[in-house]
Chains A and B, each alone.
Chain A
Amino acid sequence: MKNIIKQKRKELKLSQDELSKLAGVTRQTVNAIENDKYDPSLSLAFQLAAILHIRVDELFRFGDERDDQY
C-alpha cells in the first residue's frame, strides 16, 4: 500500500516524533508506514488521516492503482 503521509506531515510541519505522539504509536511505526514497510490497521489509518486533515482513501492507495501524486 502506498501513502502520502510524509508529504502531508511536512505540509503540516510535523516531525515523525510529533505525529507518532498524536497517533499514540512509536516513531518507528510512523517511519515504517511512511516507507511502506508496514500497513497500519484500519483504525490507525483513520486516526492518521484525521490528524493530517485528509481523507483516508486519499492518504492511502493500494499498490496497483496509478496516480501521479504517488
Chain B
Amino acid sequence: MTNTKKYFFKRAILVTLLAVFFLLWLLSKVTLKQDLSPIFFILITVLFIYQQKRLDKGGSTNIFKIARDGFPQGLKHDDEREAKNALTASFFSQRFTAGFIVLAIGISLILTSYKLIDESIFNINAFGILGTAILIVQEWSFYYEYSRLDK
C-alpha cells in the first residue's frame, strides 16, 4: 500500500468515526430520556481537532488551494500519477454521492407520496441520518475508486 493510499484510508476511517459520533448523538436524543448533547459536542470537537492534526501531518489539506502541479492541495499525493488518480476518484465520488442523495430523497418522496409511512420523514432526525450517510458514502466511494485506479 502506497503512502497516499494509506493517507486516504486513514481519512476515510476518521471521517466515518466522526459520522458515527453524529449518528450516536442523534440516536441518543431519540432513544434516551436525558440529553447527552454536551458530551457528544465535546467528543466530536476533540475528534475533529485530532483528525485535522493527523491529516495535516503530510502537508496542507486545504482543498480550495491549487498546488504547483495543478491539483488541489487537499488531494494529498506523492507524484503526478497519484494526483491524477485522486482527481479521477474525486469525480467518481462526487457522482456517486450525488446519485445516493437523489436516490435517498427520491425514495423518501415516494414513500410519503403514497402514504406508505404515516408521519413525515422530513424532520431533523432524517436530515441528520442523511448527512452522516452522505459523509460515509462520499469518503468510501472515493477510497474505493482510488484503490481501483492505484494498481
Instruction: Please report the number of residue pairs spanning A and B whose Cβ atoms sit closer than 8 angstroms.
Output: 24
| In the complex, per-residue mask of B42-84: 1 if CB is within 8 Å of any chain A CB, else 0 | 0000000000000000000000000000000000001111100
* Chain B interface, number of residues (Cβ within 8 angstroms): 8
Q: How far is the CA of A32 from the CA of B151 in the complex (A)?
A: 8
Q: How far is the CA of A29 from the CA of B80 in the complex (A)?
A: 9
List 20 A-B pairs, Cβ < 8 Å.
Answer: A24-B79, A25-B78, A25-B79, A25-B80, A26-B2, A26-B78, A26-B79, A26-B81, A26-B82, A28-B2, A28-B81, A28-B150, A29-B79, A29-B80, A29-B82, A32-B81, A38-B81, A40-B81, A41-B80, A44-B80
A12-44 interface with B by 8 A CB criterion: 24-26, 28-29, 32, 38, 40-41, 44
Q: How far is the CA of A41 from the CA of B68 in the complex (A)?
A: 14
Residues on A facing B (Cβ under 8 Å): 24-26, 28-29, 32, 38, 40-41, 44
Contacts of A26 in B (CB 8 A): 2, 4, 78-79, 81-82
Shortest beta-carbon distance from A23 to chain B in Å: 8
